[in-house]
Amino acid sequence: MQKEFDVTERVRARFRGEFFNVTNTPIFNGPNTSNPNSPIQRVAGVPTNLAGSYTGFGTIGNATANSPRQIQLSLKVLF
């Protein structure tokens, strides 16, 4: 969206707004489909990475696959 305003006879200002993912609709990642029979994943609750979170079969690592809502505003002076 943009709107242009006349400030004086020779000067104009242009206001612009860009909106990405306005509704903030999440797109969820699919579950982990790695082999559930691997030695580390046999014991439920055992961390499989250095951060200490369990990433076993069927768990979802990152909640969403898309970016959150983003708004970008700009003002341009034309003379």
| Same domain (yes/no): 57, 77 | no
Region 6-11 average pLDDT: 94
Question: pLDDT (tens digit, 9 = 90+) per residue, 21-57?
Answer: 888 887 777 666 665 555 554 455 555 555 555 555 5
Per the structure, the complete domain to which residue 73 belongs is given by 1-25+68-79
| Same domain (yes/no): 16, 41 | no
Q: Report residue 60's pLDDT band, with 50, 70 and 90 as the boundaries.
A: low
Contacts of 34 (CB under 8 A, 6+ apart): 41, 55, 56, 57
The whole-number pLDDT of residue 69 equals 86
Closest to 78 measured CA to CA, from 17, 11, 5: 11
CA dihedral 4, 8, 11, 15 (to 10 degrees): -30
| Same domain (yes/no): 20, 39 | no
- The share of the chain scoring above pLDDT 70, in percent, equals 53
Number of structural domains in the chain: 2
Q: Is the pTM of this model over 0.75?
A: no
